[in-house]
Structure 1
């Protein structure tokens, strides 16, 4: 029944999207709604590789999940799967996704004084002024921009390096989540995660990997996990919603041990907040200005009445049939579900949630451990269908 309802939701979102786009062009600002992209059936050089990788993972994935080298094998398979999906759209599309006038790399060449950037960052968030940040830089805390500045400074300039970096970091979620939940049976489902369509390449894919590592670290070394999750706060404002997953990671020991873990994690996160504050950027100031900037652009046009439910249709495509089948009450699924629901109802997630919600969505696969190979096939077919039918922006 759950799968039937999800299928009806996706179909309804697509049909309503087509109707609205036909009668009110530009209202949804997503011609392939509920996905941000264009209806454009196509194949590419990555098609044969993606099909082959999917076949191998379905055939051998459950078996290899118990191998002594399961984690490195899964990581490499995840990178290969994500990269092959990206190559369905072609190398040219892959290497330019982060170089457009709306993206982070557009601002990188002008960054010569990082303390000055941090000190004046909030003054450039609002639009319609000569020095406004580009859309993605203005919509995120400075950590996202600084990540790509750091890549540039170490010699990894340009769109190819940035896109490859996002794939490599994003794939860390494939190994961090099994370690966090202590169950390798989910590995093949994480490898064939349909959301990989948007990991290669978007900055949100990179955020997903960093966030997953941070959550895993909370289960072992809460102070270090707190530092990584504190950094996540400065990659995307929305990652404050990792809080339910962070609580899930520390829940279990109860009593004094739980309180100590929370205190250590909070200390680590606050240390990162303090570093940014001492250098002139206060997170809350940035967040308040971003809410204003959001409604200076297409956020003011996109209708809440459609996206508040169509976002969930996009999520269904991201987690795939296995993710939907595996939705049951465990602390990881509940934590991710709370995060998604809060983001959806906020009104600050109207469209493009197939990439924006990646750091939460991937944890919804924590319930797939007991599913069989048929569900791996369904995951692969979902990703291949979406990637071949829609030319996504990411």
Structure 2
């Protein structure tokens, strides 16, 4: 079944790349993605990051599974983060320092374009919603208008801390984004599956998503939301209630939804954690999240107003032209490019590891049924399914037509947990598949992010 899953995903990706070239020019141009389903252009190239990327891929493929299985947690977690950082940076350097890294966040559509114009944070927050709609003299640039003010606020604060400019922004986004790999390992371990956490570690370190983790602001969003889930999992560990950790999880959850409207869907992975561990000890998380909501609201920004205006702004632009008939499934092909064929192979094992009853009938109480399910469900499968459900909901919303290899990174990082379900003996083969696929995309397509 693993091979069938990977083959099906490969066919989906192949169709998504081929179909635009079979259509007429007018329809193809309406996609606004020259390398659809990837937002970029076909441009075979190589750079000084090519050699290091190949070397990292080979080394982790050969030695990663063994080391992940026997290293102490004290060393495994930083090793995953540093490897993910090295892999991401090497892939970015395939495009070169300026084009692939330092200049990524300095274009006219990005957040840094607006940082210099923010003289007062309070005024920015109070007037943020008024500048969301397009075709106004003071309309926010594309990315700023498409997100809550927390995203712009983050880069403003970096600038005021002396970390201004494209290089610092890229470093912060990449470092935080790559830490999401560690967060997933921590969460799965805290949910009672340490062996699954070790199994998934090399796949997270070599995630194809690294192409977009370096560099995009969505990498930052991915890291913040992933640690929100990880801290929640740590906070509700049986016998180890940690109210401060739970409060921290809530702060990160709250801040996540002010970084990206779509991260409201991170409630799904959070709910998965609470379904498995229960809600006892989680109440400080609610306090933390509400604290963030209160601060932004009192500062003058009401989230629902922003959301409704963003939907309106979305349809002021190319979203009205991009055909849903392609992107509703092309989005999923782009996601496969970000999570790799190994994730698709592991996804075939989800149903058998979610602890679903063979019979729909259960004669006991609901509490007894829940206890029974908790004893059968695989935490890695549950978190992967939660990530998959979140991105499917996002797809159905039609508010993400194209560019989902970047936009859905916060969900993709959890879908990668599917790889933990693959047999240990096949880990190196699937890692090799991941590496080859990633290198092909990085060298054949000049991505816009």
- For this structure pair, what is the TM-score category when the shorter chain's length is used for normalisation? over 0.9
Matched, 1:383 2:389: no
CA RMSD of aligned residues (A): 1.2
Structure 2 spans left out of the alignment, 5+ residues: 190-196, 236-245, 355-380
The partner residue of 2:307 within 282, 287, 297 is 287
The partner residue of 2:257 within 230, 233, 242 is 233
The partner residue of 2:143 within 130, 136, 147 is 136
SS at match of 1:368: helix
Contact 2:34–2:42, Cα closer than 8 Å, also in 1 = yes
Deviation at 1:25, TM superposition (A): 4.8
Corresponding residue for residue 268 of structure 1: 288
Distance (whole Å) between structure 2 residues aligned to residue 16 and residue 268 of structure 1: 47
Distance (whole Å) between structure 1 residues aligned to residue 116 and residue 26 of structure 2: 41
Deviation at 1:349, TM superposition (A): 0.6
The partner residue of 1:340 within 369, 391, 412 is 391
Distance (whole Å) between structure 2 residues aligned to residue 382 and residue 248 of structure 1: 30
Corresponding residue for residue 240 of structure 2: none
Equivalence map 1:295-334=2 (5 Å): 295-327=315-347, 328=350, 329=354, 330-334=381-385
SS at match of 1:171: helix
| Count of matched residue positions in the alignment of Structure 1 and Structure 2 | 390
Matched, 1:157 2:157: no
Distance (whole Å) between structure 2 residues aligned to residue 32 and residue 367 of structure 1: 27
Greater shift, 214-223 or 229-238, is seen at 214-223
Deviation at 1:331, TM superposition (A): 1.3
SS at match of 1:251: helix
The partner residue of 1:39 within 25, 39, 42 is 42
Contact 1:21–1:27, Cα closer than 8 Å, also in 2 = no
Matched, 1:185 2:199: yes
Distance (whole Å) between structure 2 residues aligned to residue 167 and residue 17 of structure 1: 32
Deviation at 1:260, TM superposition (A): 4.8
Structure 1 spans left out of the alignment, 5+ residues: none
Corresponding residue for residue 208 of structure 2: 194
Deviations along 1:276-320, one digit per CA (max 9) or x if unpaired, are 000000100000000000001111111111100110011111110
Deviations along 1:5-49, one digit per CA (max 9) or x if unpaired, are 111111111111223473435300001000000011111110000
Corresponding residue for residue 14 of structure 1: 17
SS at match of 2:106: coil
SS at match of 2:276: coil
Deviations along 1:91-121, one digit per CA (max 9) or x if unpaired, are 1112111111110000001111001000000
Corresponding residue for residue 103 of structure 1: 110
Deviation at 1:265, TM superposition (A): 2.2
SS at match of 2:116: helix
> TM-score if structure 1 supplies the norm length?
0.97
Distance (whole Å) between structure 2 residues aligned to residue 21 and residue 282 of structure 1: 44
Distance (whole Å) between structure 2 residues aligned to residue 37 and residue 20 of structure 1: 18
Equivalence map 1:201-220=2 (5 Å): 201-220=215-234
Distance (whole Å) between structure 2 residues aligned to residue 179 and residue 84 of structure 1: 25
Corresponding residue for residue 248 of structure 2: 224
Distance (whole Å) between structure 2 residues aligned to residue 20 and residue 315 of structure 1: 22
The partner residue of 1:51 within 29, 48, 54 is 54
Moved over 4 A (4+): none
Larger radius of gyration: 2
> TM-score if structure 2 supplies the norm length?
0.85
Distance (whole Å) between structure 2 residues aligned to residue 157 and residue 20 of structure 1: 44
The partner residue of 1:71 within 74, 77, 85 is 77
